[in-house]
Structure 1
Amino acid sequence: MIHHPKSSHIDPLEITLKEEHAYYSHVEAKPNGKPWYNDIKMYLEKQEYPEDITSGQKKTMRRMANSFFLNKDVLYKWTPDLGLLRCVDAIEATELLEEVHAGTCGPL
C-alpha cells in the first residue's frame, strides 16, 4: 500500500460525448475540385508556387513542404517517429472511413 497525503488534490477528468459518430466528420473537397494537398504536391514536383501568393505564403509553403515526401504520384507526410502517412483526397478518405467502419478491412 502507498501512503496518500491528505493535502494532495487530484483534478477530476472531464469527458465529453459527441452527438454524432466520428465518421460523420469526413474531409470536404476544396471548391476548385483539387485535393487539399495539391499546392504542396505541385511545389515538390515542379518547385512552382500557386498563382497570387505572397512572399510570406511562399516561405510557409517551403517550410511545410519539408514535412512531406513525394514518391512518384503519392504524397506522404513525415511523422515525428519517422513514419509516413499517405495523403488522400476527400473521396478516398470517405471510402476508407466507410470501409473501416463497415469492417471490410477485417478485425484489428
Structure 2
Amino acid sequence: MVRVILETIPDSTIFQINREENTKADELSKLVQNTSDLSSSVYFEELGAPSTDRPGVLCVSSPDNWMTPYIAYLKDGTLPEDQNKARYLKYKTARFFLENDQLYRRTFSAPTLKCVDRDEADYCLREVHEGICGDHLAAKALAYKVIRQGYYWPTIHANAVAYVKKCSKCQKFNNVPKQIPSLPGSVLSPVPFAVWGIDIMGPSPGRRGICIMCWWRSII
C-alpha cells in the first residue's frame, strides 16, 4: 500500500536507517510498554481523565432575514409595533405556514413553495441557470422555472434579472435583433378625421423635453 501511494508522489525515495542511528524513534515505540527506561530527551504527559468527557457546544445564531417576521408571527404571534406594518404582516401571512420550523408559501397554480434566504436563493438561481440541467434562460423564464422547482423569495424576479445581466455567456450569445429599420410609410384614412397621429421629436435645441405635433389625414 505504501509503494502504491509513493508512486503518486514525484521524486520520492525510500531509505533504510539502522536502529543505532534512530534511537529516539525506537524509544517512542516503547512508550506504551515501559516508561521507566526512557531517556530524558523524551517528554510525555499522563492525562488523568479523557479530554472528550465534555463535548464543546458551539451556539450559532442565524441572522434575521425576510422570513423572520413571518416565523415569529406564526410561532409566537409577535407583531411589529407599527399598526400599518402589523396589518400588512397579518394580510401577507395568510399565504404562509410552518412545518418543522420551515416556512412554506401556498400558491394557486403551483405546488407549495419552500421559502429560502439570500444564500439559498443565489444557489437556486445558479443551479437552474447554468447548473447540470441549466440552459441559460432569460430572466423571466429563469424566475418561473425556479418557482416550478418549488422555491420562493420575495425578490425572485429582480434577482433573476440582475443574475442574467451578470452572466457572461448570456451577454455574448444572446439573440440580437436583426430587423432592418425602414422609413415610415404613409397612412391612409377612409373618411375625414378617421385617423389621428402624433409625431414625437426631441429633445429640441435650447429646451428640455420633447416636442409633440398632432396631425390628421383625410381623403377628400
For the superposition of Structure 1 and Structure 2, which TM-score range results when normalised by the shorter chain? 0.5 to 0.7
- The alignment status of 1:41 with 2:65, answered yes or no, reads no
Instruction: Structure 1: state its 5+ residue gaps.
Output: 1-32
Greater Cα shift, 54-63 or 84-93: 54-63
1:38 to partner: Cα distance = 1.0
- The alignment status of 1:58 with 2:86, answered yes or no, reads yes
- The alignment status of 1:89 with 2:117, answered yes or no, reads yes
Return the alpha-carbon distance in structure 2 between the equivalents of residues 93 and 82 of structure 1.
18
Match of 2:192 in 1: none
Return the alpha-carbon distance in structure 2 between the equivalents of residues 46 and 82 of structure 1.
28
Q: Secondary structure at the match of 1:83?
A: coil
CA-to-partner distance for each residue in 1:58-104, whole Å, 9 max, x for gaps? 12111111110111121111112373111100001111111222323
Q: How many residues align?
A: 73
Match of 1:102 in 2: 130
**Is this contact kept in 1: 2:127–2:134, CA < 8 A?**
no
Q: TM-score, normalised by structure 2?
A: 0.30
Instruction: Structure 2: state its 5+ residue gaps.
Output: 1-62, 136-220
Structure with greater Cα Rg: 2
Calculate the aligned-residue CA RMSD, in Å.
2.0
Match of 2:204 in 1: none
| Structure of higher RCO (CA pairs closer than 8 Å, 6+ residues apart) | 1
**Is this contact kept in 1: 2:128–2:134, CA < 8 A?**
no
Return the alpha-carbon distance in structure 1 between the equivalents of residues 110 and 73 of structure 2.
22
- Name the % identity: 30
Give the letter aligned to residue 37 of structure 1: M
